[in-house]
Every structure is written in C-alpha cells, then in structure tokens.
Amino acid sequence: MKLLITLLLPIILISCNCSESQKTEWALALHGGAGNMNKSSFSKENITEYEKALEEALLIGEKMLSEGHDAMDVVEKVVRNLEDNPLFNAGKGAVFTNDGRNELDAAIMDGRDLNAGAVAGVGDIRNPISAARLIMEKSPHVLLVGKGASKYCAENGIVTVDSSYFYTEKKWQSLQRALQKAGKNGTVGCVALDKSGSLAAATSTGGMTNKRYGRVGDVPIIGAGTYANNNTCAVSATGHGEYYIRYTVAHDISALMEHKNLTLQQAAEKVINGKLSNEAGNGGIIAVDKNGNIVLEMNSTGMFRAWANADGEKGVAIFNDDDK
C-alpha cells in the first residue's frame, strides 16, 4: 500500500490544481472601483496617478502583514488610506447624490467569528470604515444608518467633519454629467489573510453618482458587497450595487466554496462572469481564500486593483487585459 501511494503521489500532485491549494504565509488584495473604462480616455499621467495610489495602499498592507499584524487592522488601515485619497469614490472623494449631497456606506467583516459592522448614508464621518469597525466592536448591532450612525460614532470618538469636506470639483462635475446620463461606478476595498490564518474584508464607497438620496448600496449589506469567513474566503465587491444585493454576490462565492467545493477562482467566475454578467451587474470582486489564493474577477473593462503575497508575488493593474 505504502509503495502504491509512493508511486501514485507524483501523478496525483501533477493532476491537481496546485496553485489553488498552495499555502502562502499572508496575502492581500485591494481595489479602487470597477467599471467600463475606456483606455483611450486615460492620459499617461492619469494612469500613473492611479498606479501610485494603489501601490501606496498596497505597501501599507504588505508591511503590516509581513510584520504579523491582524487582518482586521490591515484591511481597515488600507481602506482608510484609500478613503483619504480624493481619486477614489470613498471618504474624501465620495460622489454626490441626485440632490448634491454625499452619503457614504462602508462595511468590515472578521472571518474568525463572522462578526461584522457597517454604516450607511452618513455624510459627516471622515473614515466610514473605522465607523463600521466601531459599530462591530462596541455596539450590539451590525448596521447603523444616517444621523443615528453619526451620533453614535461621534459619541465614541470617531472623527466627524463638516459636509464640505467631501466637496471635490471632479465629483461635482461628474454629478452634473450624470444628471444628463447614467451614473458611474467606483468604490474601494481590501481583503487580507494574515499569518495566523485569519481572513478579513473591508469595503467603503460614496455609492453611485446621482443615486437617489437615501439609497443604500451593496457595500454595507453583509454578504452582498462584503463578506469574510475563515473557512472559505474574504470578498470585497465593486459594481452596480442593486445587482450585488439581489445576487448576494460576496456570500454566494463563499457558499459555492463551502457547499459545492468549488475553488475560489471557479466560484468567482461563476458568480461574476456567469450569473451577474447575464444581467446588467457590471463590476468585479477581489478575494482571497484561506490558503492565500488571490482572485481578481471582473465583467467590466477595468478594475483598479493591486495584490501581494508573502512569496513576493505582487502587482498593480487597471484594465481587464492587463496581467491578473
């Protein structure tokens, strides 16, 4: 028997998809939104600016994970950095609602115990991802909205700002354009596997340009735009939120792994390029599984994204025909 196993083992190893099961010490992926982006409408400087921003956020996460920090701390810190960058549609660069306000959504989830926190429709919190974490850790609730969320967060030491903080000329002009035609996508997110084997996911957004005020997207809905479970994977989504809610995208990917034994890559493809692409659910996801396999799946022409792992594999990409 022992001889048979010795003889068969190389054959078994060659026929399995080894890259799906290889264990890396830590892994990280982040996104800065997806959509149907036309390469020719980006200048070289534009592209460099986005790449630099993604790289900066990636370095924060890489450093923390290699030093042994907790995945929850990593995803929060990385998303805070992206929220502070006006290039992205989250925090400082949040888009405007149809009546010219900013209503921000964010969620964070801990794969260890499925604990989660989220905030929706807030217009005066500088870093909504930290508000989401506060709600998860300090309150008995998962999701707080609007004024109630702001009040609770302010009382518990979260930094609030005047609504004028979120005014950026670029996003204001994009509302003016969107008032004439369809809205535009954009969001930030991060997923991480840390050295202790814990997974975490965080997502933050201003929502969709020209959304009706009061509208809440998929991002703060646990299982739609954000999900983490140490038994399967961590997922952060970006795209047309209404579809991500209807298809409970992030949880569906995890469920396909858990119940159907699909790999993360197979599950993500099935949901993003199967179920969703048959609808108008334009966008993508970033995800990492419990073995550190990173998947960046989209059904749009672009997704701002970056990834790294403990084995030194890393990169930054924007368009769907870029590597990874």
Handedness of CA 104, 238, 302, 126 (dihedral sign): positive
CB nearer ligand ASP, residue 26 or residue 243 = 243
DSSP assignment of 106-142 equals EEEEETTTTEEEEEEEESSBS-HHHHHHHHHHHSS-S
Stretch that binds ligand ASP, among 50-58, 68-76, 157-165, 205-213 (CB under 6 A): 205-213
Query: Is residue 281 a contact point for ligand ASP (CB under 6 A)?
Result: no
Nearer to ligand ASP by Cβ, of 238 and 293: the residue is: 238
217 binds ligand ASP (CB under 6 A): yes
Is 124 a binder of ligand ASP (CB under 6 A)?
no
186 near ligand ASP (CB under 6 A): yes
- Parallel, antiparallel, or unpaired for β 104-110 and 115-122? antiparallel
Q: Is 302 in the site for ligand ASP (CB under 6 A)?
A: no
Does 204 sit near ligand ASP (CB under 6 A)?
no
Instruction: Verify whether residue 187 is a known catalytic residue.
Output: yes
Q: Which is nearer to ligand ASP, 116 or 262 (CB)?
A: 116
Find, among 267, 305, 285, the residue nearest to 20 by Cα. Answer: 267
End-to-end, the C-alpha distance of the chain in Å comes to 42
- The answer to the question of residue 208 lying near ligand ASP (CB under 6 A) is yes
Q: Does 187 bind ligand ASP (CB under 6 A)?
A: yes
DSSP 275: I
Minimum CB distance to ligand ASP, residue 273 (Å): 17
User: Which of 82, 90, 26, 25 shows the shortest CA–CA distance to 53?
Assistant: 82
Using CB under 6 A as the binding rule, whether residue 128 contacts ligand ASP is answered as: no
Q: Is 16 helix (H, G, I), strand (E, B) or coil?
A: coil
From 48, 97, 187, 301, the catalytic residue:
187
Taking the least distance from each CB to ligand ASP, the nearer of 150 and 204 is: 204
The answer to whether 316 touches 304, Cβ cutoff 8 Å, is no
Instruction: Point out which span in 227-235, 237-245, 253-261, 302-310 binds ligand ASP (CB under 6 A).
Output: 237-245
Beta-strand runs (E) in 184-301:
188-193, 199-205, 226-228, 233-239, 283-289, 294-298
Question: Does 33 contact ligand ASP by CB under 6 A?
Answer: yes
Question: Residues near 221 by Cβ (< 8 Å), separated by ≥ 6?
Answer: 107, 118, 143, 245
- CB 277 to ligand ASP: min, Å: 16
Number of residues this chain uses to bind ligand ASP (CB under 6 A): 15
Torsions phi, psi for 180 (to 5 deg): -95, -30
Q: Does 123 bind ligand ASP (CB under 6 A)?
A: no
Contact 200, 61 (CB under 8 A): no
Which residues are catalytic, by number? 187
For ligand ASP, the binding residues (CB under 6 A) are: 33, 185-187, 205, 207-208, 217-219, 225, 238-239, 241, 244
